[in-house]
Amino acid sequence: MSTETNGRTHANQPPFRSGFVAIVGRPNVGKSTLMNQVIGQKVAIMSDKPQTTRNKIHGVYTTDDMQIVFLDTPGIHKPQSKLGDYMVKVAESTLQEVDAVLFLVNAAEELGGGDRFIIERLKTTKTPVILVLNKIDQLQPEALLPIIDSYKDLYPFAEIVPVSALLGNNVNTLLTQVGKYLEEGPQYYPADQVTDHPEQFVCAELIREKILQLTREEIPHSIAVTIESMSVEKNGLVKIGAVIFVERDSQKGIVIGKQGALLKQIGQLARADIEALLGSKTFLELWVKVKKDWRNQDRVLRDLGFRNE
């Protein structure tokens, strides 16, 4: 005999579980890499620059018996601008909204002040916290136990799971552990949906990722990208117009490059990822504009989509 619950038909099947899980940690410990590994495709941008993620990125993982909505948060750090303040507030507010927290650390580095800073923040929440020791592919197995002990002394973690987000090692074990902390609930998103962000947001993030990869020095933290226009032609071609904002005229010249070479390379790399995302041929047009000191201007931050909820 079959019954239907929350829009799902089943016959003597275990209850469907669902919930929201935050991924927190210092900048550049692999939070976006982990979520992309779980989801199976890129929904959060990756870079070797710290503080790459600026908003809560939602990734959706669905199986026959559970759905996890992951929130990849900005790295918790000591902010040095109003944008930095926004990023930390977003990350910390997330702790109160979820069913479980994944505290991601770089196991290949010593436990430092940044990790202790986050642990102090975690003590303010009653949400179960799972310690995820990332980058175990860079360690000898015997080095892992002392690292685990050093973290266990600081916080009563619900679970401790070593993984390699880059290679996918032990990620399935992590998902099984997360499932233990989900309640019976609805399927929030269709099984084939991997993020709740609009395509324009993801396209802007993919463009920003390429700039992060191709520039150095002060440029990475001084850029923002907005999609000004997005349309589909009759032949299926997607036309996108995007603006890259920088803070100073000198930065504009760096992003454009000699005779436009760097901007062209940014466009070519971003277009390849956008076409994979959309499944359509894409015409991408980029402009670079200066908004002086935009990271410290509340109005500009709001216009660019950085809003504290």
Domains annotated on the chain, with CATH: 3-184 (3.40.50.300), 199-303 (3.30.300.20)
What's the pTM? 0.64
Average pLDDT over residues 170-179: 96
Q: Place 121 in a pLDDT band, splitting at 50, 70 and 90.
A: confident
Q: Could you tell me which residues come within 8 angstroms of residue 251 by beta carbon, excluding any fewer than 6 positions away?
A: 218, 219, 222, 223, 290
Q: Place 208 in a pLDDT band, splitting at 50, 70 and 90.
A: confident
Model pLDDT, residue 47: 46
Q: Place 44 in a pLDDT band, splitting at 50, 70 and 90.
A: low
Average pLDDT over residues 187-191: 88
Q: Place 194 in a pLDDT band, splitting at 50, 70 and 90.
A: confident
**297 Rama sector, left if φ>0, alpha if ψ -120 to 50, beta otherwise:** beta
Q: Place 87 in a pLDDT band, splitting at 50, 70 and 90.
A: low
